[in-house]
Amino acid sequence: MTHETWGLVREQLAVRIGKNNYTTWIEPLKLTTLANGVAHFEVPTTFFGNWVSRNYSDHILNHLQSSGAEVGRVEFSVVRPTEAEAKPAPRPVAKPVARGSDDLPGSPLDARFTFDSFVVGKPNELAHAAARRVAEGGPVTFNPLFLYGGVGLGKTHLMHAIAHELQIRQPHLRVLYLSAEQFMYRFVQALRERQIMDFKEIFRSVDVLMVDDVQFIAGKDSTQEEFFHTFNVLVDQNKQIVISADRAPGEIKDLEDRIKSRLQCGLVVDLHPTDYELRLGILQTKAEYYRSQYKGLQMATGVLEFLAHRITTNVRVLEGALTRLFAFASLVGREITLELTQDCLADILRASDRKLTIEEIQRKVAEHYNIRLADMIGPKRLRNIARPRQVAMYLAKQLTLRSLPEIGRRFGGRDHTTIMHGVKRIEELMSTDSQLSDDVTLLRRLLQG
C-alpha cells in the first residue's frame, strides 16, 4: 500500500520538479519504511541525501500527505555498501582520492601555455595580473574570475597557465580545467549512465574549477542548471572559479539571468584586441624560438614589424603566419625577406587586410588633419592639404596590399609615380619631423583598431 502511494507520488513529483531533476534525484530514492509518521528512504551517498533533503523533502512530504499517507517527516540514510559496492570502483572518476588532481576529468593542458610564454602588453595587462593572482593559490579575493575577449586573444593560454602554476605551487590542490563543452559532455554522460552523483561529487570536490568558453552552454538548459548549482556550491565553499567566454556575461544570449548575475559578481576582465607593440612582442618571442629550431635561418630586419602591422586579427593567425614562414624558408633554404614574406603569406595578408580600405584611410586622415575628404582626391597643392594627402598615400601603401597604380586611381586618378613620391616624402619626413611621425603612428593605430 505504502509503495503504491509512493509510486503515485513519484509520478506527481516528476511533473512538479521536471524530468531531469526527477531522474537525478527522485528515481534513485528507495522507500524502505513508512511508520510512526516517518517516511524513510535509502540514498546512495551522503551527499545525495543532503541534497535531496535540502531541496526536495518538502515536495516529497507534501505529495505524500496529499495522497493520504500519514506522514509528518521524511528521512534519508545511506545504503550500507554491500561488499561489491565497497570495493574500489574500476572507473577512474570514482576513485576515492581526495588529494591532487590526477583523478579529475579535466581537458588536457597544453604544456606551452605557461606564464613564461605569455607576452604581456597593455591589452592583456589586467587579465594577466588577475590570472597571476589566482595562480598564487592564496585566499580567494574575487570569485569568479571571468575572462572574456575575442577569439585567439589568450584566454585559454591564461587558464592553462594558472593550472600549470598551481600544480607547481600548490600540488595538493584539486584543480579542474575543462571546456564548457566537456562539462556538458560529462554531464550528459553521467545522466545517461546514472552516475550523476559521482559527477556532482567530483565537481563539488575541487578546489579550483576552470571552465573555458562558457558561452557554449547558453541555451542548453539542463547543463546550465547543473553548472549553476556546481558554481554556487563552490562559491559558497570559497573555492576559486575561473570562467572564460567570448563576450561579457551580460551579452551572452540564452544564458539564464541568474547565471549572468552570478558571473558578474567576481572580477570581470576583458582581453582587448592586440595592439602593435603586443603583436611585435609576441612575434619576437616566437621568432626567437624558431631561430633556435631552424638554426642558420636568416631573417631580414623589418619582417616582424611588417607582420605586426599587417596581421591585426588575432594572435593565433599571427602565430600561424610565423610558423608557415619559417617552415617555408627552411624548405627553400632562403633568407626570410620582406619579399618572401609577402609571397609566402599573401593569403593571410589579404584576409587581414580586407577590413581596411583606402577610403577609410583617407577619411581618418582627413578627420585627423581637419580637412575635407574631397581634398584627398582633389587637386589642391597647398601644403596643409598636400601633406595629409601624402600621409594617406603612405598609410595606404603600408596598410593595404594595393599596388601603387591602384592607390593612384583612388587618389583622384593620380599617377603611380606621384604616389611613390608621396610615400617616399613621408618616409623621409618621419625621421626628421617628430610631430609628423607621431601623427602617422597615431593614425596607424587608429586604423588598425
Q: Residues interacting with Mg ion, by CB under 5 A?
A: 155-156
Pick from 155, 310, 364, 414 the residue near ligand ADP by CB under 6 A: 155
Grid coordinates standing for 201? 561529487
Tell me how far, at minimum, the Cβ of 157 lies from Mg ion, in Å: 8
Closer to ligand ADP by Cβ: residue 269 or 385:
269
**Ramachandran category for residue 288: left, alpha or beta (phi over 0 → left; psi -120 to 50 → alpha):** alpha
Nearer to ligand ADP, 154 or 249 (CB): 154
Residue whose CB is less far from ligand ADP, 157 or 239:
157
Q: What angle do CA 140, 142, 145 make, to 5 degrees?
A: 110
**Which of 38, 151, 351, 446 lies at the binding interface for ligand ADP (CB under 6 A)?**
151
Distance CA 35, CA 37 (A): 5
DSSP string, 118-163: PPP-GGGHHHHHHHHHHHTT-S--SSSEEEE-STTSSHHHHHHHHH
Cβ closest to ligand ADP, residue 25 vs residue 113: 113
- How many Å separate Cα 120 from the centre of its chain? 17
Q: For residue 135, give every residue at least 6 positions away whose Cβ sits within 8 Å of its Cβ, in sequence order, or none.
A: 115, 161, 162, 165, 166, 169
- Secondary structure letter of residue 372 according to DSSP: -
Separation CA 361–CA 443 (nearest Å): 9
* Contact range with ligand ADP by CB under 6 A, out of 13-21, 154-162, 218-226, 374-382: 154-162
Q: Cα(283)–Cα(305) distance, rounded to whole angstroms?
A: 9
Residue ranges in 266-295 that form contacts with ligand ADP under rule CB under 6 A: 282
Q: With CB under 6 A, what is the number of residues at the site for ligand ADP? A: 17
**Binds ligand ADP by CB under 6 A, chosen from 206, 234, 315, 344:** 315
From the list 248, 242, 253, the residue with the least C-alpha distance to 264 is 248
CB of 439 to Mg ion, least distance (A): 37
Under the binding rule (CB under 6 A), the answer on residue 311 touching ligand ADP is no
Could you tell me the CA-to-CA distances from 91 to 94, 104, 173, 368, 372 in Å, in that order? 6, 11, 22, 65, 72
Q: Between 111 and 140, how does the x/- string for binding to ligand ADP read (CB under 6 A)?
A: --x---xxx----x----------------
From 44, 105, 154, 422, residue interacting with ligand ADP (rule: CB under 6 A): 154
Report the nearest approach of ligand ADP to the CB of residue 212 (Å).
Answer: 7
Quick one: what does residue 258 bind among ligand ADP, Mg ion, none, with the CB cut-off 5 to 8 Å set by partner type? none
Q: Which does 315 bind (CB under 5 to 8 A by kind): ligand ADP, Mg ion, none?
A: ligand ADP
179 scored as a contact of ligand ADP (CB under 6 A): no
Quick one: 194 or 316, whose CB is closer to ligand ADP?
A: 316
The residue whose Cβ lies closest to Mg ion is 156
Give the integer Cα–Cα distance in Å for 167 and 145: 19
- Within residues 192-231, the interface with ligand ADP by CB under 6 A covers none
Closest separation in Å from C-beta 118 to ligand ADP: 4
Our CB check for ligand ADP shows the closer of 235 and 321 to be: 321
Q: Which does 154 bind (CB under 5 to 8 A by kind): ligand ADP, Mg ion, none?
A: ligand ADP
If contact means CB under 5 to 8 A according to the sort of partner, which of ligand ADP, Mg ion, none does residue 364 touch? none
111 by DSSP, 3-state: which? coil
When the beta carbons of 75 and 319 are compared against Mg ion, the nearer one is 319
User: Does residue 153 touch ligand ADP according to CB under 6 A?
Assistant: yes
**Letter for the amino acid at 161?**
A
Contact status: 152 vs ligand ADP (CB under 6 A): yes
- Report what 44 binds from Mg ion, ligand ADP, none; CB cut-off 5-8 Å by kind: none
- Told to check if 156 binds ligand ADP by CB under 6 A, we report yes
Only segment of 4-12, 172-180, 315-323, 395-403 that touches ligand ADP (CB under 6 A) = 315-323
Nearest-angstrom CA–CA distance, 224 and 226:
5
Q: DSSP string spanning 380-448? A: ---HHHHHHHHHHHHHHHHHS---HHHHHHHTTS--HHHHHHHHHHHHHHHHH-HHHHHHHHHHHHHHH
Q: Which residue in 63, 157, 164, 279 binds ligand ADP (CB under 6 A)? A: 157
Q: How far is the CB of 142 from ligand ADP (least distance, A)?
A: 20
Partners of residue 38 on adjacent β-strands: 35, 73
- For residue 374, the Cα-to-chain-centroid distance in whole angstroms is 43
The binder of 152, among Mg ion, ligand ADP, none, by C-beta within 5 to 8 A per type, is ligand ADP
- Dihedral sign (CA 362, 364, 367, 370): negative
Alpha carbons 199 and 58: distance in angstroms, whole number: 25
Distance of alpha carbon 311 from alpha carbon 353, whole angstroms: 8
Q: Considering CB distances under 5 to 8 angstroms, the limit depending on partner class, which of Mg ion, ligand ADP, none binds residue 25?
A: none
Q: What value does the CA radius of gyration of the chain take, rounded to a whole number of Å? A: 31
Residues that bind ligand ADP (CB under 6 A): 113, 117-119, 124, 149, 151-157, 282, 315-316, 319
